Structure 1
């Protein structure tokens, strides 16, 4: 649980925990509560965006695929390329095509349900 504004009081039978803005609480299987700094970039999804910082291309494609109907396939030859940026979640094809200018990749739509990301022909 992350807190971005104000504070939250977590009430449990045996304890009360207060989390302030900028904090994130984690819960273990044993019931212990951990406290760490929240990731403000994680809130971008509220605005329909994703913030990628040094992500692998295959990880980015899997993240986008969760937001769409259909599949995104990434050729192993380009899967390990790294990227950073802010991208829309509602249009995976547009997000991936934006990377064509910065990475040696080509994005091809084979059907409305299949996007293929592979090496750019030189």
Structure 2
């Protein structure tokens, strides 16, 4: 069968390359788990994704196109050869503008909640 397995980067991991997320890793995880199309969701705390690719027999990795392909593969510690050997497709979807920690912080500041 086909399953949708979603991995999110943990807070400390994200903070190592950009601002800490507005929503905590646990909040983001619960949001994903509440989606009816998500079969399983978990937090990743290490950059190397090979363990998860192999454990779950992943056939596609989907990410926003705000990352360049080679930079993203470098971050998750895989190569084109590794993905090809396992028949894993890397799919980059259009980045959703306006849904980011920076945008959430900006909206809160502009709304006088702070």
TM-score higher than 0.5: no
TM-score computed with the length of structure 2 as normaliser: 0.26
Q: Which has the larger radius of gyration?
A: 1
TM-score computed with the length of structure 1 as normaliser: 0.25
Report the structure, 1 or 2, having the larger helix content. 2
Higher relative contact order (CA 8 A, sep 6+): 2
